[in-house]
């Protein structure tokens, strides 16, 4: 494991091999067409009874600390970006990516392969199913899913095109339903 400066780890924590804690977050600003590095001045604060899996990374905060609260369990190959806060007793399975400044509540369960957009707030007691992509904040406890099941590429392409047409198809179906109702009323 690699620990950078500004990392504070509580008691009874387990950090597996290959984990990197406290590296710079992905902070860059585009200045006249050139990416300039933004200094990452925060640290990482890890509370008691946390377990961090092999080859997981937890970036330091940009200005304030990235925070992992008591009892959090992080599986292998999880990426926690700068300024993230993970609430107590949350469990995160392998291959999850949490973008910067996202806050995840307490007692959440995040299944494998989930991706979080940045600057989100996830309330307590949320379960997110495997391979979901979270693009908005979640304000109500419960189970959430996204994505599509695997299928042959030609079928996926057809479905993707149809999905874009869904609003128009819905309007057409409603018009047809009205016409059918009108015809039925005329027959009676």
**Which residues does the annotation mark as catalytic?**
82
Distance CA 134, CA 146 (A): 8
What are the start-end ranges of the H helices in the chain?
Answer: 153-164, 166-187
Distance CA 59, CA 49 (A): 19
Would you state the torsion angle of the CA atoms of residues 45, 134, 119, 121, taken in this order, to the nearest 10 degrees? -70
Residue 177 DSSP SS3: helix
For the four alpha carbons of 133, 135, 137 and 139, in that order, the dihedral sign comes to negative
Q: Are 100 and 117 in contact (CB under 8 A)?
A: no
List CB contacts of 19: < 8 A, sequence separation 6 or more.
1, 2, 52, 53, 54, 55, 56, 57, 58
| Structure-block tokens of residue 106 | 């307490």
């Amino acid at each position: 494991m690699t620990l950078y400066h500004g990392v504070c780890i509580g008691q009874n924590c387990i950090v597996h091999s290959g984990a990197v804690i406290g590296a710079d977050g992905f902070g860059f600003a585009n200045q006249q067409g050139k990416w300039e590095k933004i200094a990452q001045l925060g640290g990482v604060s890890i509370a008691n009874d946390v377990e961090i899996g092999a080859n997981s990374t937890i970036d330091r905060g940009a200005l304030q600390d990235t925070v992992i609260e008591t009892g959090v369990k992080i599986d292998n190959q999880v990426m926690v970006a700068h300024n993230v806060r993970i609430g107590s007793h949350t469990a995160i399975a392998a291959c999850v990516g949490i973008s910067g400044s996202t806050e995840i509540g307490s007692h959440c369960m995040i299944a494998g392969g989930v991706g979080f957009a940045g600057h989100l707030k996830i309330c307590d007691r949320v379960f997110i199913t495997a391979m979901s992509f979270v693009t908005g904040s979640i304000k109500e406890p419960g189970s959430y899913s996204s994505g599509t099941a695997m299928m042959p590429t030609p079928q996926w392409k057809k479905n993707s095109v149809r999905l874009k047409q869904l609003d128009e198809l819905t309007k057409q179906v409603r018009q047809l339903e009205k016409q059918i109702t009108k015809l039925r009323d005329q027959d009676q």
